[in-house]
């Protein structure tokens, strides 16, 4: 004699809010909620909310919570029944399949990433629900020519939904694209896997024409039409250091650089440049020449019309000169200019600015607003999801590098203060990138030494050491790639220039070498053109464009 239920045992269901149980025999004692147990991969947050006896052999169970995908079991624990030949000890299990759609899979390397998991010797997969066939290595394959060199030798089960493919061998032949395919994997309802193929690409550095004027550390701004404006900078190898007022336009559609019909009113380096909501470009302060001469420090700003039909408009800042400052948009919609240096002498208090200026596009002018907590030269900034400006590190006084950061809240009248948590490394001239989880990655730079360590400021203000780049990256370029990696490009080392392109994988916090930079110099500037598209400028060398090889 077997028990039965409504819905029927082994049914494929979207959910299971209630259940009617029909027992073949009468229990010799009253049953209660504690006699029933829910388990299986699909249990999720399900619990027995209420229990009702309808007759001596029929019961109604009401469930609360949400089931997940997979097998669900409702178990009646061992109980004494009155059977045909006397008392019997029995337990009953009612099994169901919860199916809320076709299964999917995610890998620890996103589609479109570099296939550097081949260096690791393993690839991790996580299915959206328990599936059948995931433990069979024959259900996974690589495309040629990698398939001839790399073998999947084992599949390890990490959990009910996670697996690791163990790989043997390294690619012996070059390839531009690798496809990883999955077959014959279904969920317990018989639905086939939804995403069955993943493509991975090798990086390719395309050599572009040279700029019309060679320049180090220009400022690059993407215009409303997708073209890139390249502004000012330093003349490479000039001694004493000389700066530029010329402007160029890069067209990603044609890979061509053209001379902009207007020039800045004042040549400059170490300035900031931002695009305003109306499309104009604002260029703020900087250096006319060597930073060792106070006369070279600028206190002006210029507004550039991207049409090129009118000359840039030059106006003055409300206070002292500044260079090496940073700019950021705050949550109030205004552009803020923060920190920097205002004097060449390290012993002068103006060398490390705590000043903040805010630009008002309605008046085309700046106003001085509340300060950052400490003066910072060589700082970096970024805006978090709350509209606060994260201000990081830099030099705070003569020969004293900072390892502090602060959240500058423009909406608050309260004075800005340093965050109580400190980073592990002091550094200046570093980079700061924010991901979709409101985490900021602190990259490159240096103090008395050039730094390879990668740190992350988490959304709650805590910080985490992640890894080290293989090469030092002082004045390097950094950019997101495929939303899952950060690329480190160029930069200075103790012995010269960094030649490799390195990738920090955000899924596993590991660093991989993924390519080589054909042209490199003492100055590297990168500008993100797209999800997997980066423009690279290296002084008097040809321009380069990093894309995927196809």
Query: No. of H helices and E strands in the chain?
Result: 2, 49
Residue where a domain stops, chosen among 171, 201, 231: 201
Any domain includes 147: yes
Q: What is the pLDDT of residue 100?
A: 82
Judged by phi (left if over 0) then psi (alpha if -120 to 50, else beta), residue 400 lies in: beta
Cα distance between residue 524 and residue 538, in whole Å: 5
Cα distance between residue 517 and residue 532, in whole Å: 16
How does the average pLDDT of the chain come out, rounded?
Answer: 94
10 and 82 share one domain = yes
Average pLDDT value for residue range 298-303: 97
Any domain includes 74: yes
Cα distance between residue 194 and residue 99, in whole Å: 14
Between 152-161, 391-400, 414-423, the lowest mean confidence (pLDDT) is in 391-400
Q: What is the pLDDT of residue 68?
A: 87
What Å distances lie between residue 351 and 73, 175, 338, 376, 389, CA to CA? 70, 52, 13, 9, 22
Q: What domain count does the chain have?
A: 2
Residue where a domain stops, chosen among 98, 116, 150: 98
Checking if the pLDDT of 399 tops 80, the result is no
Give me the CATH number covering residue 37. Answer: 2.60.40.1220
Checking if the pLDDT of 1 tops 70, the result is no
User: Percent of the chain having pLDDT more than 70?
Assistant: 100
Any domain includes 148: yes
- Here the tokens at position 37 are 């147990």
Q: What is the pLDDT of residue 502?
A: 97
42 and 127 share one domain = no
> What is the maximal distance between C-alpha atoms in the chain?
108
Which residues, listed in sequence order, are joined to residue 281 by a DSSP beta bridge?
Answer: 275, 304
Q: What is the pLDDT of residue 525?
A: 96
Any domain includes 156: yes
Any domain includes 145: yes
Residue where a domain stops, chosen among 34, 63, 98: 98
Q: What is the pLDDT of residue 550?
A: 64
Average pLDDT value for residue range 239-260: 97
Q: What is the pLDDT of residue 378?
A: 95
14 and 88 share one domain = yes
Checking if the pLDDT of 405 tops 70, the result is yes
120 and 142 share one domain = yes
Checking if the pLDDT of 2 tops 80, the result is no
Checking if the pLDDT of 389 tops 90, the result is yes
Which residues, listed in sequence order, are joined to residue 380 by a DSSP beta bridge?
Answer: 392
Confidence tier at 497 by pLDDT (50, 70, 90): very high
94 and 110 share one domain = no
**Pick from 303, 307, 111, 117: nearest CA to 197:** 111
Cα distance between residue 509 and residue 198, in whole Å: 21
**What confidence tens digit (pLDDT) does each residue in 321-353 have?**
999 999 999 999 999 999 999 999 888 878 899
**What confidence tens digit (pLDDT) does each residue in 84-137 have?**
888 999 999 999 888 888 999 999 999 999 999 999 999 999 999 889 999 999
Confidence tier at 41 by pLDDT (50, 70, 90): confident
94 and 151 share one domain = no
Any domain includes 27: yes
89 and 154 share one domain = no
Any domain includes 87: yes
64 and 113 share one domain = no
Could you tell me which residues come within 8 angstroms of residue 344 by beta carbon, excluding any fewer than 6 positions away?
A: 291, 292, 293, 294, 297, 351
Checking if the pLDDT of 146 tops 90, the result is yes
Confidence tier at 300 by pLDDT (50, 70, 90): very high
85 and 16 share one domain = yes
Any domain includes 269: no
Q: In which domain, by residue range, is 65 found?
A: 4-98
User: Percent of the chain having pLDDT more than 90?
Assistant: 83
8 and 67 share one domain = yes
110 and 87 share one domain = no
Query: How does DSSP assign 206-268, residue by residue?
Result: EE-PPPSS-BBS-EEEE-TTS-EEEE--B-TT-SS--BB--EEEEETTTTEEEE-S---SS-B
Between 10-14, 33-37, 202-206, the lowest mean confidence (pLDDT) is in 10-14
109 and 190 share one domain = yes
Judge contact between 448 and 429, C-beta under 8 A.
no
Confidence tier at 520 by pLDDT (50, 70, 90): confident
Q: Are strands 365-369 and 356-360 parallel, antiparallel or unpaired?
A: antiparallel
């Amino acid at each position: 004699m077997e028990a039965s239920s409504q819905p029927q045992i082994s049914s494929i269901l979207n959910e299971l809010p209630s259940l009617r149980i029909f027992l073949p025999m009468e229990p010799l004692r009253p049953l209660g909620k504690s006699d029933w147990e829910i388990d299986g991969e699909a249990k999720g947050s399900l619990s027995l909310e209420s229990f009702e006896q309808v007759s001596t052999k029929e019961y109604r169970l009401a469930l609360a919570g949400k089931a997940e995908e997979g097998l669900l079991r409702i178990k009646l624990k061992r109980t004494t029944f009155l059977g045909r030949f006397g008392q019997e000890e029995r337990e009953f299990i009612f099994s169901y399949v919860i199916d809320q759609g076709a299964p999917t899979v995610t890998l620890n390397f996103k589609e479109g990433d570099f296939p550097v998991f081949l260096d690791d010797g393993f690839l991790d997969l996580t299915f959206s629900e328990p599936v059948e066939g995931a433990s069979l290595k024959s259900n996974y394959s690589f495309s040629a020519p990698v398939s001839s060199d790399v073998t999947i030798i084992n599949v390890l089960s990490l959990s009910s939904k996670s697996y690791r493919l163990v790989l043997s061998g390294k690619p012996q032949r070059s390839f531009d694209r690798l496809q990883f395919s999955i077959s014959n994997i279904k969920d317990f309802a018989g639905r086939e896997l939804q995403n069955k193929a993943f493509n991975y690409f090798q990086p390719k550095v395309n050599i572009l024409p040279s700029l019309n004027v060679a320049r180090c550390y220009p400022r690059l701004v993407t215009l409303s039409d997708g073209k890139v404006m390249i502004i000012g900078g330093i003349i490479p190898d000039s001694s004493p250091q000389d700066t530029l007022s010329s402007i160029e336009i890069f067209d990603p559609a044609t890979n061509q650089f053209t001379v902009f019909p207007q020039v800045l009113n004042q040549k400059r380096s170490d300035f900031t440049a931002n695009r305003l909501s109306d499309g104009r470009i604002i260029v703020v302060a900087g250096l006319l020449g060597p930073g060792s001469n106070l006369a070279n420090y600028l206190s002006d700003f210029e507004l550039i019309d991207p049409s090129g039909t009118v000359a840039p408009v030059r106006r003055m800042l409300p206070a002292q000169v500044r260079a090496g400052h940073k700019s950021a948009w705050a949550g109030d919609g205004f552009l803020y200019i923060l920190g920097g240096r205002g004097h060449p002498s390290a012993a002068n208090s103006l060398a490390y600015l705590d000043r903040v200026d805010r630009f008002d596009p309605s008046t085309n002018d700046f106003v001085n607003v509340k300060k950052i907590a400490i003066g910072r030269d060589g700082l970096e900034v970024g805006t978090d999801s709350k509209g606060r400006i994260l201000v990081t590190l830099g030099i705070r006084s003569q020969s004293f590098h900072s390892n502090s950061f602060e959240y500058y809240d423009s909406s608050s009248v309260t004075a800005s203060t340093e965050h109580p948590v400190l980073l592990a490394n002091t550094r200046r001239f570093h980079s700061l990138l924010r991901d979709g989880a409101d985490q900021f990655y602190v990259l490159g730079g240096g103090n008395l030494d050039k730094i390879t360590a990668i740190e992350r400021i988490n959304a709650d203000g805590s910080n985490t050491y992640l890894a080290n780049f293989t090469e030092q990256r002082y004045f390097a370029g950094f950019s997101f790639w495929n939303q899952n990696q950060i690329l480190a490009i160029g930069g200075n080392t103790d012995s010269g220039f960094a030649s490799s392109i390195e990738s920090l994988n955000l899924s596993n916090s590991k660093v991989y070498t993924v390519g080589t930079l054909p042209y490199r110099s003492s100055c590297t500037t990168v500008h993100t053109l797209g999800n997997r598209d980066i423009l690279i400028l290296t002084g008097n060398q040809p321009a380069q464009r990093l894309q995927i090889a196809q």
